[in-house]
């Protein structure tokens, strides 16, 4: 994985802050990726322990999925908050506060004595720790835009997606020596390590002239602007729909692999194959996106996603679908999502240099909240077969395509997009 180490010192160039820290591109990419991976680890490492957790806390049926679903949902709602605060007070203090909450509530999750208490703590953790996912795109957008941002976000996703590929295996390993509570302690320890790195190394990237006042009218106006462009709306809501289907897989994956296909021992491997395919796609995207453009790459991937989902529906309705029919198709569609996610996000963020924090927050709110609700509904619809998931993947792809066509005025495969720099303004 080739990542350049170009120094990034935007605040020095723009003369906007006294922060003298500098950070190269390589370090920035790794830091942002591992920050976002804190959330991924908090979701995926606990998956192998859901049976043990359900037994220990007397949880029945599909209710165990709420440990994942409620975290995703409140993280989406909470994403509305940190971006607006970061546009006023800077990226560093808000990000460090989010990490601190993540650490404290990870320890709290390990100490609960009831399922209701665990759900409450996880809900608070998702909401108040939302900055660890909402702010990295804003930090990147402070520095670059256009297809260069798509390239950097793709590299971030390569590293970020290694975590869900490995997290179930790490969770399984922890369960060999301790119970499910130790997984939450591991989450807290990771937060401490990465939080220390951020504290000592991350420079403030928000320049003084772009600081926004904390006034409800200003905040609401900035967020409304971030969703007002027709060229943006389809990408934000489209990615929410298609990733809702992915969250449906995450929510029901443990039951699908264990109960439907009777391969519980293979769960970490199967999940790792699927998540690893997204990482491979993100790496490939970083190599091609500046040449072909985020639109051409993501539109092609979306059409392929719909075709593969249709094949998934066909096999899901066969009476004898096997694990090794399900896994390759699911891995291919997750790989295609690797070409969609970072590109859609970069296209949506590109017009909003001056209000990157608010834009990142409101886009994250829409994507995560919608995806979490859809994913929870899909996961809860689990009926012992892969049919609800397959149908959701196909429907999500078709709706996403319709939304993208709306944003692109019926034309797909647009040309590469130039970076919008410090002086960029909203498109009229």
| Residue 45 to residues 68, 187, 255, 317, 350, Cα–Cα distance (Å) | 10, 9, 15, 30, 33
| pLDDT band at 20; cut points 50, 70, 90 | low
- What integer best gives the mean pLDDT of the chain? 83
Residue matched to tokens 């943006």: 232
- The C-alpha atoms of residue 198 and residue 32 are separated, in whole angstroms, by 9
Model confidence at 166, pLDDT cuts 50, 70, 90, reads: confident
**94 part of a folded domain:** yes
Q: Give the largest Cα separation in the chain, rounded.
A: 66
| Whole-angstrom distance, CA of residue 302 vs CA of residue 306 | 6
User: Which residues, in sequence order, are CB contacts of 10 under 8 Å at separation 6+?
Assistant: 142, 143, 205, 207
Angle between helical axes of 323-349 and 131-141 (0-180°, round to 10): 50
Which residues, other chains included, contact 190 with Cβ-Cβ below 8 Å and sequence gap of 6+?
38, 41
- Provide the token pair at 375: 């994913």
Is residue 115 situated within a structural domain? yes
Average pLDDT over residues 227-251: 88
Sign of CA dihedral 66, 67, 71, 72: negative
Three-state secondary-structure class, residue 24? strand
Query: Helices (DSSP H) in 202-322: which residue ranges?
Result: 216-226, 230-255, 267-292, 294-316
* pLDDT over 50 (residue 11): no
pLDDT of residue 409 exceeding 60, the answer is: yes
State pTM to two decimals: 0.70
Among 106-115, 126-135, 140-149, 310-319, name the one with the lowest average pLDDT: 140-149
In this prediction, residue 317 carries a pLDDT of 93
Cα 385 from Cα 312, distance rounded (Å)? 12
412 within a domain of the structure (yes/no)? no
Domain holding 275, by residue range, is 25-407
**CATH code of residue 333:** 1.20.1250.20
The predicted model gives 259-280 an average pLDDT of: 83
- Burial state string for 283-307 with b = 16 or more CB within 10 A and e = fewer than 16: bbbbeebbeebbbbbbbbbbebbbe
pLDDT, residue 186, reads: 94
**Residue 255: is its pLDDT beyond 80?**
yes
- Find the mean pLDDT for residues 336-343: 87
- pLDDT of amino acid 427: 34
For 215-229, the pLDDT digits (tens) are 777 777 878 888 888
Q: Of 150-159, 311-320, 339-348, where does the model show the most confidence?
A: 311-320
Has residue 332 been placed in a domain?
yes
- 3-class SS of residue 205: coil
**For residue 131, which of 103, 172, 165, 173 has the smallest C-alpha distance?**
103
Domain assignment present for residue 339? The answer is yes
- pLDDT score recorded for residue 355: 73
As a whole number of angstroms, the distance between CA 280 and CA 269 comes to 16
Asked whether residue 234 is domain-assigned, the answer is yes
Pick the range with the lowest mean pLDDT from 218-222, 265-269, 375-379, 405-409: 218-222
Q: 362 or 308: which carries more pLDDT confidence?
A: 308
Band (85; pLDDT cuts 50, 70, 90): confident
DSSP reduced 3-state for 7: strand
- Using pLDDT thresholds of 50, 70 and 90, give the confidence band for residue 194: very high
322-347: string of b/e by CB count within 10 Å (b at 16+)?
Answer: ebebbbebbbbbbbbbbbbbbbbbbb
Does residue 254 contact residue 48 with C-beta atoms inside 8 Å? yes
Q: How many domains does the chain have?
A: 1
Question: Does residue 33 lie within any of the structural domains?
Answer: yes
**Between residues 95 and 364, the one the model is more confident about:** 95
Higher-pLDDT residue of 416, 425: 416
Take residue 362 and report the two structure tokens written for it.
């409101």
Contacts of 323 (CB under 8 A, 6+ apart): 257, 261, 263, 266, 270
Question: What does the pLDDT read at residue 398?
Answer: 96
Q: Which residues contact 294 (CB under 8 A, 6 or more apart)?
A: 147, 150, 343, 344, 346, 347, 416, 417
Residue 26 vs residues 112, 159, 190, 331: alpha-carbon distances, Å: 39, 11, 20, 28
Position 418 scores a pLDDT of 53
Q: Is 250 contained in some domain? A: yes
The structure tokens listed for 301 are: 């991937």
User: How far lies 381's CA from each of 44, 175, 319, 385, 410, in Å?
Assistant: 20, 28, 19, 10, 33
Helix axes 294-316, 323-349, angle to 10 degrees: 150
Axis crossing angle, helix 230-255 with helix 66-78, rounded to the nearest 10: 160
pLDDT tens for 292-321 read 888 999 999 999 999 999 999 999 999 888
Q: Which carries the bigger pLDDT value, residue 73 or residue 1?
A: 73
């Amino acid at each position: 994985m080739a990542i350049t180490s170009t120094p990034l010192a935007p605040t020095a160039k723009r003369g906007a802050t006294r922060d003298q820290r500098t950070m190269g591109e390589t370090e920035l990419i790794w830091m942002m990726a591992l920050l976002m991976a804190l959330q991924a680890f908090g979701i995926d490492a606990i998956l192998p322990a859901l049976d043990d957790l359900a037994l220990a806390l007397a949880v029945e049926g599909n209710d165990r999925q709420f440990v994942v679903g409620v975290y995703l949902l409140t993280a989406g709602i909470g994403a509305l908050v940190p971006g607006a605060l970061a546009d006023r007070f800077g990226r560093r203090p808000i990000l460090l506060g989010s990490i601190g909450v993540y650490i404290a509530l990870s320890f709290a999750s390990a100490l609960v004595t009831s399922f209701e208490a665990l759900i409450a703590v996880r809900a608070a953790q998702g909401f108040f720790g939302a900055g660890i996912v909402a702010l990295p795109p804003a930090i990147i957008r402070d520095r670059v835009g256009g297809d260069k941002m798509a390239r950097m976000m793709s590299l971030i996703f390569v590293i970020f997606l290694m975590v869900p590929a490995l997290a179930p295996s790490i969770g399984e390993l922890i369960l060999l020596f301790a119970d499910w509570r130790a997984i939450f302690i591991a989450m807290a320890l990771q937060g401490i390590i990465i939080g220390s790195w951020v504290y000592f190394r991350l420079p403030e990237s928000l320049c003084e002239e772009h600081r926004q006042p904390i006034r409800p009218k200003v905040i609401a106006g900035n967020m409304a602007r971030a969703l007002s462009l027709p060229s943006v709306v389809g990408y934000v809501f489209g990615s929410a729909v298609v990733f809702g289907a992915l969250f449906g897989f995450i929510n029901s994956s443990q039951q699908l692999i264990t109960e439907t296909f009777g391969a519980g021992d293979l769960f970490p491997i199967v999940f790792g194959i699927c998540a690893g395919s997204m990482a491979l796609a993100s790496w490939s995207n970083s190599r091609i996106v500046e040449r072909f453009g985020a639109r051409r790459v993501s539109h092609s991937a979306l059409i392929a996603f719909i075709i593969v989902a249709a094949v998934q529906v066909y096999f899901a309705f066969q009476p004898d679908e096997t694990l090794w029919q399900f896994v390759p198709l699911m891995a291919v569609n997750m790989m295609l999502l690797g070409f969609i996610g970072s590109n859609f996000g970069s296209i949506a963020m590109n017009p909003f240099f001056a209000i990157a924090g608010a834009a990142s927050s409101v886009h994250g709110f829409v994507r995560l909240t919608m995806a979490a609700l859809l994913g929870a509904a899909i996961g809860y619809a689990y009926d012992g077969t892969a049919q609800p998931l397959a149908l959701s993947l196909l429907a999500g792809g078709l709706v996403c395509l319709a939304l993208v066509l709306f944003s692109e005025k019926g034309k797909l495969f647009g040309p590469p997009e130039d970076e919008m720099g410090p002086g960029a303004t909203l498109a009229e």
